[in-house]
Chains A and B, each alone.
Chain A
Amino acid sequence: MQVPRPRLILLAVLVLSLVPTATAGRSPDQPLFEIGLSRRTAERLGLSVGDVIEVSADPSMAQSRRARVTMVWSPPEHPADVARGDLVIRFHLPDLQSLLQQPDTVDRIVVRLLDPTRASWLRDDLNALGRGYDAYTAADLARITSRTFRVITQFHRAIALITLLASGIFLITIMALKFTEMRKEIGALRIVGIAKETIAFTVLGIAAGAAIAGTAVGLALGAVLAWGINAYYQPLFHTHLRFAVITPQALWIVAALAVLLGLAAGAAVSVRLLRQHPLEQVGR
């Protein structure tokens, strides 16, 4: 069962208008709220600890309250929020309820269990009550919030597959061309009595060498590209999250694939070359 679309505190806060205290009508009798600003919010609004501002849930600044900035903090960054650039303000719960004129109303309740292993049991129990809310375990929420990223990962994998196919063909074509270019030398070697096996191993060795060298250059290029992507996007989105990361797993997959493709190309070419008559290869 699904609860009505939650009015996240974050979104509620987003609709708040903020004006300097000097420009708006205020209620001096009421005590100041204490609020915390995310670093991005503080930077965007040019505020720092100790500043007093006016906050309201209404764009016309009706029912506004004065609030003092008591904290500027860096919330943990989440990839889902990177592109949103949300401005986050932290209130004490009763202050926000009072500002929204919704006493005893919350968007969600978080529960800490004595025994965290029983989270699913409690979730099922609460949902079975059917009281108009949904209960989720922390694992459920992690899974739900990471759905977009799973989709993006799946998309990246599909694109990687296409890119691999194109690069595979590229590698095979280049290898085939390189060895076709060497056919005269190979023909000459066979005429002077070098065994087919020796030639095949030599071709494979050269293919592997070229593939390894190409892989090394490719990985270096990839590292430069990853560095460039991070250098571009991190300041763009004001985040320290990394957008391109070369993992050991990716490194091994790329290296293994490149070498395997190189060897496959070498094998295919050597079979073709050894089938040809040596005299034909030297052009006689």
Chain B
Amino acid sequence: MVSFLAWKNLRRSASRTVLLIAGVSIAGALLFNMSMLAEGLETSFEAVLGRLGYEVRVVLRGTLPFEAEALMPAAAQTAVSIAAHPSVAWAAPVLATNIYVLTPHDRATAFALGLKPELAGVVSITHGIPGRGLIINPELAHALQIGPGDVVRLATSVNPQIGTAERTSVATVDALGEYVFDLRSQRTLALPFEELAALLELRQGQASFIVVKLKDGAGPDAVVQWIETTFPALDAFSIPDLVSRVRGQLTYFNHFAAILSAVSVLVAVLLIGAVLTLAVGERLGEAAALRALGLRRRRLVLLVFLEGAVVAVVSAPLALLLGAALSQPLDAILRSSPGLPQDLHFFVLTPQAAIRTVILLLLTATIGGLYPAWVAGRLNIATTLHQEIQ
């Protein structure tokens, strides 16, 4: 009976209920968005790292994990040693640098990766067949109007005095592909590790960093510790390490999400609380009559809470839908920031975010219903009936 009455009470002032649901839905949508934002970047970053196909990244001690400026001496030999560890499936050195790509008519700079065959997973081929030549990304293909089969010249530098390319070699474009960690509008190419090493005139197995793939079931922590102990000049980072380093830089978004979540909850609590308080105030006579007819105090309190809960339950799917819709443009705005990997998202729709939003909305309805429920609960039947008749 109480749920029937709660439903009827909400339908009684349809426009008020619609406004209430609209307000709670928008506040809930914002709450959902902030829930997505709070962990979205980290989740997305973790997902992108996971797609790279390795678990540990080894860099020269003292350098930053994503910088590739300093060259690690004897990296090829070190990779072989690391690969000998029983938990390691393979270890591969990677070269990363900026080079010039020249066509007869044009010139562009590109981020070049020298990859061993084990790292084929960092690029998804869209056209062509990879071989000993270049795999270029669509941005580079578009900039120079080149594609599979075209021949280009690669240069490590251009003389600023006379504008001529220095240390050049000729390469054929084998394929077009999307790189997992490409920055937005970044031009990227990959070529075999040895080819890039030759172009850079590196003859002692130097590399920018080493990536390590672990055997199934092996934990990264032990391997990271082993690498750092065995090779004191190197730092090793597991994916959780990298994520936790990035987490420190996400303070702004986490705090922003926390503040706006608190504001959304407050708005929803105030809205539900104010509407229910006024609604209870309007219906004191009816409530007293219901009590006189035999409705228990607890049932009357439950009725008020239920009205709030119905609003939350009706608003929750609307909030999730609206939040999901709003997260798209908001994500697009933030993703237009310069220097971000193109697969990185700020708003990631996860079941946890949705569940958290629904729970918070129900909690909001409960908190919002506390005061009106207290008013209903302490209602004196005789006095109220008497006042209503005056």
Contact = CB atoms under 8 A, between A and B. Distances in A.
Nearest to A83: B249
Interface string A243-267: 0000000000000000000000000
A169 B23 contact: yes
A129 interface: yes
Nearest to B68: A5
Given A130-B163, A131-B159, A180-B16, 14 more contacts: A1-B109, A132-B160, A147-B337, A152-B334, A154-B333, A158-B329, A159-B30, A159-B330, A162-B33, A167-B267, A170-B271, A172-B19, A178-B278, A236-B251
A165 interface: yes
Given A15-B63, A163-B263, A181-B282, A4 B329 contact: no
Given A59-B63, A172-B19, A181-B281, A132 B333 contact: no
B333 to A, nearest CB: 5
Interface string A109-145: 0000000000000000000011111000000000010
A12 B69 contact: yes
Interface in A144-199: 144, 147-148, 151-152, 154-155, 158-159, 162-163, 165-167, 169-170, 172-174, 176-178, 180-181
Given A83-B251, A130-B163, A132-B100, A170 B62 contact: no
Given A2-B109, A59-B62, A131-B160, A169 B69 contact: no
Contact of B98 (A4, A158, A165, A178): A4
A7 interface: yes
A247 to B, nearest CB: 19
Given A163-B263, A173-B16, A15 B69 contact: yes
Interface residues of A, number: 47
A60 interface: yes
A12 to B, nearest CB: 7
- Residue of A7, A15, A83, A166 contacting most chain B CB atoms (<10 Å): A166
B69 A7 contact: yes
Query: For this complex, into which size category does the number of interface residues on chain B fall?
Result: 35 or more
Contacts of A60: 61, 233
B383 interface: no
A169 B26 contact: yes
Interface in A56-106: 59-60, 83-84
Contacts of A151: 333-334, 336-337
Contacts of B100: 4, 132
A22 interface: no
5 contacts: A59-B61, A151-B337, A154-B333, A172-B19, A229-B259
Contacts of A131: 158-163
- Residue of A7, A60, A229 contacting most chain B CB atoms (<10 Å): A60
A200 B263 CA distance: 33
A223 interface: no
Contacts of A59: 60-63, 70, 233
Contact of B27 (A7, A166, A181): A166
A177 B270 CA distance: 13
A162 B62 contact: no
A202 interface: no
A15 B333 CA distance: 33
A144 B62 CA distance: 29
A174 B64 contact: no
Contact of A15 (B70, B259, B278): B70
B109 A173 contact: no
Nearest to B281: A181
Contact of B333 (A158, A167, A169): A158
Given A4-B99, A151-B333, A173-B19, A162 B163 contact: no
A229 B258 CA distance: 12
B116 interface: no
Contact of B264 (A11, A148, A166, A174): A166
Contacts of B108: 1-2
B67 interface: yes
Interface string B22-52: 1100110110010000000000000000000
